[in-house]
Structure 1
Amino acid sequence: MNIGIILGSTRPSRISPSIGSWIAQTLNDGNVSARTIDLLDVDLPFLNEETMPSLHHYTRDSTKQWSDIVSGYDGFVLLSPQYNWGYPAVLKNALDTLYTEWRGKPVSLVTYGGHGGFQAALGLGLVVRGLHMRPLPTNPQISISEHDTDEQGQLMDVDALLSPYLPSFQSMGAEFLSAMNV
C-alpha cells in the first residue's frame, strides 16, 4: 500500500518536512510504503483550469502531472499547520485542483500548532468529506510550543516531540491497511 504524506505548507520556515519524514519512517513497514509529497516541489498554479475538476477535462500540464501523482497513491496523510484557525491555501489549492482522484481514498489529517491545530483539522475534515475521501479514525493533533523550536522556528528534537504520538501513528498504519481491505 502506497501512502502519500502531503506537506501542507510551503513557507520558508516550515517544519512540515521534518515531521513528514518522521511520519514516513514510522508508517513504513512491510505492508505500508509512505513517502512525502512536498507541495513546494509541485508546480501547481492556483485553480487555472477552464472547467471544474469534477469534469476531469484537464488541459494544463501541471494539473495532469498532479493527477498522475495523486493517482499513484492508495491513501494520504494531510500534514498541515494551523494558520489563523485554518489551513494553508496551498493545501486547499492542491485538494481543489482535482476531484475524482481523491474519491474513496483513505485519509488521515495530521495537524500541528499551538493547540494541536484543531481548527485546521475541522476545516480539512469538511473538505475531505466533500471530496468523498474516507477519513480514518486516527487524526493526531500535534501540540507545539515555543519550547519545542529554536530561534529560527525549527524543531529542536523531532523524536522527543513526536514520540508521545507513536501509538497513534502505529494505529494509523493498521487503519490504512484495514481501509484497503474493505
Structure 2
Amino acid sequence: MSQVRDFWSRRKAAVQKEAQAEQTAIETQAFASQQAELEEKSDAEILAELNLPDPNQLQCGDDVSGFMAKAVPDRLRRRALRRLWRLNPVLANVDGLVDYGEDYTDAACVIENIQTAYQVGKGMLAHVEALAAEAEKDEPDVSIEELQHGPILVEDPIPKAVTLVESEVEEPEEEADFHPAPRRMKIEFEG
C-alpha cells in the first residue's frame, strides 16, 4: 500500500533524481571524450599506455581480463576475444548442435537455375498429381487373373441380415436440477 507523500518528500526525491541524472550525463560525456581520444591513437600506443600485450600474440593460459576494462576500445577487446576463442579448445570446437551456426544467406551456395516442385500455399501438389496420373496410365484396368479366369467374385464377408439384440439397459432418469443447500460453518464453544 503506497502512502501519500507530502510536497517536501516528493520535492526531495525529484532533486535526488536530477542530481543522479546530471552525474550520469557527466560520466557519459567523460567516457565519450576518452573514447574519442583513444580512436585517434594507434593500437600500439593504446596497448603501451594501458600496459597490455598484443592481442595477436596471446598464448593459451594468458590472462585477457585486462582487455575487458572500460578504457580499452572495442576493437582491441574483440581482437583479444577472437584470439582467446581460437586458442581455447572448449571455445574453438563447436559441437555441431548450433542451430544458427551456418550462414544460409550466402549467395555462393545457391545453385544456378534451381527448379522445384514446391508451390507456395499448395506444397508439392502438382508433383504428386503428375505421379498419380503416371501411375494410372501404367496400371491396366483388367488384371491378368481376370483375363485368364474371368471376373473374380468375392463373397461379402458381412451377412446381409444381421439382427442386433437390444440388451435391457435402463436409461438413466432425467435428474432434476439439484442444487445443494449452501453450507454454513457453525462454531460451538463448550463451557
TM-score by length of 2: 0.18
Say which structure is richer in helix.
2
TM-score by length of 1: 0.19
Say which structure is richer in strand.
1
Choose 1 or 2 for highest CA Rg.
2
